[in-house]
Structure 1
Amino acid sequence: MDTFFLAHGAVTLVVDETVPVRSFLQSWKSDTMQEAPRAILMISGHWDTDAPTVNLVHGENDTIHDFKGVPQFFYELKYPAPGAPYLTQRVTELLENSGFGTVKQDKTRGLDHGAWVPLMLMYPEARIPVCQLSVQTGKGAEYHYNLGKALMPLRDEGVLIIGSGNITHNLQALGPIGGPIPKWALDFDTWVKDSVLNGRYDDLNNYEEKAQDAKMNHPSPDHFFPLHVALGAAGHGAKAKLIHHSWTNSVISYASYRFTAA
């Protein structure tokens, strides 16, 4: 299995046909990945914990409505994908054996919208088992890259690893739909693209020092670290491909990447 970093967008993405990334996600099975995975491991920027945590779900995943200010319709949406308890145990084993300490298992958590919004468009039947892994924003980019490296064996076991976030994510600077992209956002997005496509992993793992306006683009790194997990899980020397690129609200990049192991 290749690994992926996907931009997930707001919950309105499930119905908003004006957002280009929606059609990209809807064409996933026909244009991007015809092979059905055994299970899916989602790393979402909307689950931040002190230590690595995976959800342990027997039966269907709950649909977490972790947003506000939208019509009631969105709070009634469900994505009842089966849980993947065996994958929970496998992730726990891999991370603990790689020195990440005790991995917690959360029996009460379902899927947040960073996980189920893209999956609802990619796999609307909700039949593929899904497990979610948290990020640790206090641990840094290289930590998340190494976290991904520990998960590499899952690729050979039919598990689709997806980091879900955004290359640029400053909600305080949102502009109008179709508005001009500020230089600080465009430059950072371009720097990330050049670094990813040219295999500059060290630069990406030290992006706060290497990239201009890193803090402006990511006041919190929660939506950026899923990229590092996906990149690490692909392994050193992986071939990267930009598979979608668009913008919304001037400052939110929907750049999405595919990583194929060397």
Structure 2
Amino acid sequence: MLNTTSLKMAGFKDTFFISHGSPTLAIDDSLPARHFLKVFRQRVLPEKPSSILIVSAHWETAEPTVNAVNGPSDTIYDFYGFPKPMYQIKYPAPGAPELANKVKKLLKEAGFKRVNEDKKRGLDHGAWVPLMLMYPDADIPVCQLSVQTDMDATHHYNMGKALTSLKKEGVLIIGSGSATHNLRTMQSINDSVASWATEFNDWLKESLLSGRYEDVNKYEEKAPFAKLAHPWPDHFYPLHVAMGAAGADAKAELIHDSWTNYTLSYASFKFTEST
């Protein structure tokens, strides 16, 4: 078995899209997705990353922006009305300013004219909720990359393509959003799923597993109930970044699939670079 140092030298072939669902994923032990993320290191990716680049649905900017924090990252509580323990969680992962600079450089070389950095912003719940379950020691440097909701899915796919080389340096690239995300349709029902949500989710799984990435880039035209599943694209675009960062002809694999609240899918995917 390779040791940690040689694994970092060899890098990764995989990128990931994680559906993070509700912020209560951090504390609700009844959620299957929580248990999936807690065993991620054992069952999905046992190698420890050198650093993590995470694209969160909860950071929207007009232009691509990275956070370049020195020292521990602040934990941002970008939600309200949740149980008190949610506001007591801390995830002080080290910032990754060197990775942030590499991301900026790669995006600019790929034709993204303006790429900004924020030296103060910490990690929002789209980043720290899944990461606290996946890597609870908070000892891996983390850089966050924003989404641009005024742009399309192809824009985000191309952002991912520009960042493919980071995997060779042991950087774990994660898109954090939701396979479906329509808060107005959610209900306190956990034993059934709306038919339209199932149909969209099934289309997404079949399209990804069949390698029809261009269809996923054009999901608003191709997918059934696209606007119901994603009235706003913020929670879907992280998938396109992860998909693009895997490289050409990458193979998709469904690594988790569960539901809560009638219409909220926790479907999560691994994208493996073609060899």
TM-score clears 0.5: yes
Moved over 2 A (4+): none
Q: Does 1:199 align with 2:236?
A: no
Residue from 29, 49, 55 that aligns with 1:17: 29
Give the corresponding residue for 1:52.
64
Which SS does the other structure have where 2:216 is aligned? helix
Q: Is the 8 A contact 2:26 2:86 kept in 1?
A: no
Alignment-derived partner of residue 160 in structure 2: 148
Give 1:158-177 correspondences, 5 Å limit.
158-177=170-189
Matched, 1:95 2:94: no
Q: Determine whether 1:6 maps to 2:18.
A: yes
Q: Which runs of 5+ in 2 are unaligned?
A: 1-11
TM-score w.r.t. the length of structure 2 is 0.94
Amino acid at match of 1:54: V
2:247 aligned to which of 219, 232, 235 = 235
Letter in 2 for 1:30: Q
Cα displacement (A) at 1:179: 4.0
Give the counterpart letter for 1:108 in structure 2. K
CA distance in 2, matches of 1:71, 1:20: 20
CA distance in 2, matches of 1:112, 1:192: 26
Once the two structures are superposed, the pairs formed by residues 102-181 of structure 1 within 5 Å of their partners are 102-181=114-193
Q: Deviations over 1:132-187 (max 9, x none)?
A: 00000111001110110000010111100000001100000001231421111100
The amino acid across from 2:163 in the alignment is L
Alignment correspondent of 2:194: 182
- List runs of 5+ in structure 1 lacking aligned partners: none
Q: CA deviation at 1:250?
A: 0.8
2:107–2:115 CA contact under 8 A, matched in 1:
yes
TM-score, normalization: structure 1? Answer: 0.98
Give the count of matched residue pairs: 262
In 2, the alpha carbon distance for the partners of 1:72 and 1:190 equals: 36
- The offset of 1:10, in angstroms, is 2.0
Tell me the distance in 2 between the aligned counterparts of 1:23 and 1:62: 25
Paired amino acid for 2:123 = L
- Structure 1 residue 11: Cα displacement: 2.1
**Structure 1, residues 47-74: CA drift from partner, whole Å, max 9, x if none?**
0100000001000110000011112221
Letter in 1 for 2:187: G
Q: Does 1:252 align with 2:264?
A: yes
Say which is worse superposed, 69-78 or 182-191, in terms of deviation. 69-78
Alignment deviations for residues 184-220 of structure 1 (CA, whole Å, 9 cap, x no partner): 1100000000110011011011110111210111010
**Residue 54 of structure 2, aligned match among 23, 39, 42:** 42
Among candidates 90, 106, 109, match of residue 78 of structure 1:
90
